[in-house]
Chains A and B, each alone.
Chain A
Amino acid sequence: MLVGTTALATTLYFSGASTAQEGHSLEVAEIATMSQTDEVPDGQELFEASCSTCHGPEGQGTDNGPSLEGVGEASADFQLRTGRMPLANSGQAVRKDPAFSDEKIDALVDYVGTLGDGPEIPEVDLEGASLVDGQALFIENCAACHGATGSGGAVGNQALAPSLTAASEVEIAEAIITGPGQMPPFDFADAQLNDIVNFVVYLREEPRPGGADIGGIGPVPEGFVAWFVGLGSLLLISRLIGSKRKADAEDAA
């Protein structure tokens, strides 16, 4: 589309070289706007094409997908921007590359927002957020599923609370508000929401003063390292120091 537009514009530019200069740029501008107007995605159309099979033609839900009434723009934005929707296979919706461009996501989000009265896309402002409050709120509300370091965990029946390293600030806030999948929704004051998002972001770049953090999930990887690296290296050293032959000289036959 874009290439075509450029080609068209270029051809017209050269073909219109003999006409007056003032009109010329207007022509290109018109052509440019024309192609943009053609491209404005229609949220409802997109929805009917891509989402209605599972969510129903008016988002009322089917056997294959829940109703989207009242889920709000925040929910749609989260699911689409993280690529969870459209669902690739049955099972938990997981992060993957978004299936739609930003404009199409915006259009779909607008449309889903009209299906009832749900939460809007939250505004995240980390200026002045408190790390201390964020840490306390995170441990109280989030660590039980996502882990104290945000590494994620299994939450039963093949559901996973994902690692929190990839989500953007807005996505984190959206997830907290909307409770996607098995995650419950939370009702925090704006300041608290900002605190939690700020803390999650902090966790990613937190210094690890002790060295390599081997996953940050505690004693399980530590145990592996202790056996294979710790004891393993000492066993190798022992074999180098001691004799390998059970008998020192030739065997008694």
Chain B
Amino acid sequence: MLKWIDERLGAAHWARKGLKKVFPDHWSFLLGEIALFCFIILLLTGTYLTLFYRPDAAPVIYEGPYEPLRGREMSAAYESVLRLSYEVRAGLVMRQIHHWAALVFVAAIVAHMVRVFFTGAFRKPREINWMVGVTLLVLAIGMGFTGYSLPDDLLSGTGLRIAYSAVISIPFVGPYLGFLVFGGEFPTEGIISRLFVLHVMLLPAAVIALIGVHLGVLWRQKHTQFAGKGRTERNVVGKSFWPQQFFKSFGLMLLTGAALALLGGLVQINAVWNYGPFDASAVSAPSQPDWYVGWLEGAIRLFPAFEPTIFGVTIPSMFIPGVVIPGIGFTVLALWPFIEQRVTNDRALHNILDNPRDRPARSAIGVGGILYVALLTIAGGNDVLALTFNVPIEAMVWFLRIGLFVIPVLGGFITYKVCTELQSSGARPARRKRGTRLRRNAEGGFEEVPSDSHS
């Protein structure tokens, strides 16, 4: 069969090259793959859902089996999600797998990004891939937001209201932009079908294209590797793509699917029937977005009531935390390779990865950044935390407002110290102790050998 293709495409040569391609096999290099596999599962389950979902805000009367809503007027979109959950066989498990996959997808992207950051894999020549990756993160968050807003339920509709307010808050263009995006003053009938177009057509197209670029660039540039025996800046040491790496990845994809299937069947998620159809004058508490928007929610909650009017222009109190801070944050993130290059003056090509301890400054900044985002995300659920730990909300807010500045700095400082300590002591705390044992040698004396050697 290969001959048939080869006669038409001349494939045999580059097929062989591809199958032979070497990939280093450290476990942390699999994180990006996990994200990719989550995306594939999202595509498959999402296609199934699209065949049943109706992106239509027109009112219908519910006649299905969920009793508390029978006879109620609701949008066709919401009704289709109820039908999918209660009347379509395997509909609920597909919906739940889809939603769990979305949560794990972004988590895997973040984990992968953290690995790339701490090992300096974004350095020349991989700045392009880093920027593509950050863009993919933003697109993934966008896909999640548009996706969970599609059911038009009370919880996601509240989130849409906040998004609308964020757009409106932009000086000079806010109200016009808000009305353009939503099709009028909130709430509009048109927003659901627009979110649908974004979620199933425009955003997936962008994500798929960028994943293609991301993998293509990786393929061309070859994967990075950790320093070690026989490894140089000019080679790659590992296992060839076929058969082992391919089968390991294929197996990992199946196991990712298995984990998501188990979650999708056993743990209820986004039970939209409880919230009821969206109603602009009602709200449920606690109200949070999905975790990957939690940092934005936290920023909006923590930012104080600062709303100045400068030269007749009001700066609404949600503009800075809702628009400016995320804008700055993602820009800094995307441009990080160049920022680091500026500071370190290192314009050499790097194919060998850093040990995080060898770059104490970068690691400290990384830990600080992670703590900052983590605290914002936690702040997004501050009312739930106040309930869990039985403290007043106000105390929780102040703790987080102050902690937001103190904890990342402290964490960065500690990281710096730990890195320099580990560097100078040469200790390898994560390495399993191999230990040594004494062995009698032929001359009658003793010698130390590694404890796992057999003789």
- A–B interface present (Cβ within 8 A): yes
Q: Which residues of A contact B (CB under 8 A)?
A: 131-132, 134-136, 139-140, 143-149, 152-158, 160-161, 199, 202, 208-214, 216-220, 222-223, 225-227, 229-231, 233-235, 237-252
Can you list, as one digit per residue, whether each of B244-284 has a CB less than 8 Å from chain A (1) or not (0)? 00001001100110011001011111110011100101111
Give min CB distance, A219 to chain B, whole Å.
4
B30 touches A208 (CB 8 A): no
B108 touches A234 (CB 8 A): yes
When chains A and B are docked, how far (Å) is the Cα of A211 from the Cα of B93? 10
B229 touches A219 (CB 8 A): no
A-B contact pairs, 17 of them (CB 8 A): A131-B67, A135-B69, A139-B282, A143-B284, A154-B392, A161-B285, A210-B96, A216-B274, A218-B155, A220-B286, A225-B263, A231-B34, A235-B31, A241-B251, A242-B28, A242-B29, A249-B230
> Which residue of chain B has the shortest Cβ distance to A148 in the bound complex?
B284
Residues of B contacting A155 with CB < 8 Å?
285
Given A209-B85, A223-B103, residue A238 in contact with residue B31 (CB < 8 A): yes
When chains A and B are docked, how far (Å) is the Cα of A85 from the Cα of B110? 50
When chains A and B are docked, how far (Å) is the Cα of A239 from the Cα of B30? 9
A231 touches B228 (CB 8 A): no
B383 touches A154 (CB 8 A): yes
- A157-B393, A222-B269, A238-B27 known, 4 other contacts, Cβ within 8 Å: A132-B67, A239-B27, A245-B228, A248-B237
When chains A and B are docked, how far (Å) is the Cα of A218 from the Cα of B286? 8
When chains A and B are docked, how far (Å) is the Cα of A198 from the Cα of B286? 23
A252 touches B228 (CB 8 A): yes
Give min CB distance, A38 to chain B, whole Å.
43
Q: Give which listed residue, A160, A214, A227, A251, contacts B268 with CB less than 8 A.
A: A214
Give min CB distance, A227 to chain B, whole Å.
5
Residues of A contacting B386 with CB < 8 Å?
154
When chains A and B are docked, how far (Å) is the Cα of A249 from the Cα of B24? 13
Q: Give which listed residue, A136, A143, A218, A227, contacts B288 with CB less than 8 A.
A: A218
The 8 closest A-B pairs by CB, nearest first: A247-B228, A242-B27, A223-B291, A210-B268, A226-B103, A246-B226, A135-B68, A148-B284
Q: Give which listed residue, B256, B269, B384, B394, contacts A220 with CB less than 8 A.
A: B384
A243 touches B68 (CB 8 A): no
A140 touches B229 (CB 8 A): no
B34 touches A234 (CB 8 A): yes
A140 touches B282 (CB 8 A): yes
> Which residue of chain A has the shortest Cβ distance to B27 in the bound complex?
A242
Determine if B72 is an interface residue (Cβ-Cβ < 8 Å).
yes
B285 touches A144 (CB 8 A): yes
Determine if B438 is an interface residue (Cβ-Cβ < 8 Å).
no
A234 touches B266 (CB 8 A): no
Can you list, as one digit per residue, whether each of B199-217 has a CB less than 8 Å from chain A (1) or not (0)? 0000000000000000000
When chains A and B are docked, how far (Å) is the Cα of A243 from the Cα of B228? 13
When chains A and B are docked, how far (Å) is the Cα of A55 from the Cα of B383? 33
> Which residue of chain B has the shortest Cβ distance to A157 in the bound complex?
B392
B103 touches A220 (CB 8 A): no
Residues of B contacting A242 with CB < 8 Å?
25-30, 248
Can you list, as one digit per residue, whether each of B68-110 has a CB less than 8 Å from chain A (1) or not (0)? 1111100000000000011000001000100010011001100
Residues of A contacting B96 with CB < 8 Å?
210-211
When chains A and B are docked, how far (Å) is the Cα of A87 from the Cα of B78? 45
Residues of A contacting B432 with CB < 8 Å?
244
Q: Give which listed residue, A149, A157, A158, A231, contacts B274 with CB less than 8 A.
A: A149
Residues of A contacting B284 with CB < 8 Å?
139, 143-144, 147-148
B271 touches A225 (CB 8 A): no
Given A227-B107, A252-B229, residue A211 in contact with residue B393 (CB < 8 A): no
Give min CB distance, A237 to chain B, whole Å.
5
Q: Give which listed residue, B27, B72, B103, B286, contacts A132 with CB less than 8 A.
A: B72
Give min CB distance, A204 to chain B, whole Å.
13
Give min CB distance, A183 to chain B, whole Å.
13
Scan residues 390-412 of chain B and give those whose CB is less than 8 A from a CB of chain A. 390-394
Given A231-B107, A252-B227, residue A145 in contact with residue B265 (CB < 8 A): no
Residues of A contacting B25 with CB < 8 Å?
242-243
Can you list, as one digit per residue, whether each of B102-141 has a CB less than 8 Å from chain A (1) or not (0)? 0110011001000000000000000000000000000000
Scan residues 283-309 of chain B and give those whose CB is less than 8 A from a CB of chain A. 283-291, 294
Determine if B154 is an interface residue (Cβ-Cβ < 8 Å).
yes
> Which residue of chain A has the shortest Cβ distance to B380 in the bound complex?
A220
Give min CB distance, A126 to chain B, whole Å.
14
Determine if B337 is an interface residue (Cβ-Cβ < 8 Å).
no
B387 touches A152 (CB 8 A): yes
Scan residues 189-240 of chain B and give those whose CB is less than 8 A from a CB of chain A. 226-231, 237-238
> Which residue of chain A has the shortest Cβ distance to B31 in the bound complex?
A238
Residues of A contacting B275 with CB < 8 Å?
139, 148
Given A209-B85, A242-B26, residue A217 in contact with residue B268 (CB < 8 A): no
Given A154-B393, A216-B274, A242-B27, residue A247 in contact with residue B103 (CB < 8 A): no
Give min CB distance, B147 to chain A, whole Å.
13
Given A139-B284, A143-B284, residue A158 in contact with residue B392 (CB < 8 A): yes
When chains A and B are docked, how far (Å) is the Cα of A152 from the Cα of B203? 37
When chains A and B are docked, how far (Å) is the Cα of A143 from the Cα of B275? 9
When chains A and B are docked, how far (Å) is the Cα of A144 from the Cα of B259? 35
When chains A and B are docked, how far (Å) is the Cα of A103 from the Cα of B388? 36
Give min CB distance, B285 to chain A, whole Å.
4
Can you list, as one digit per residue, whether each of B329-348 has a CB less than 8 Å from chain A (1) or not (0)? 00000000000000000000
When chains A and B are docked, how far (Å) is the Cα of A213 from the Cα of B432? 39
Q: Give which listed residue, A149, A156, A199, A229, contacts B393 with CB less than 8 A.
A: A156
B104 touches A226 (CB 8 A): yes
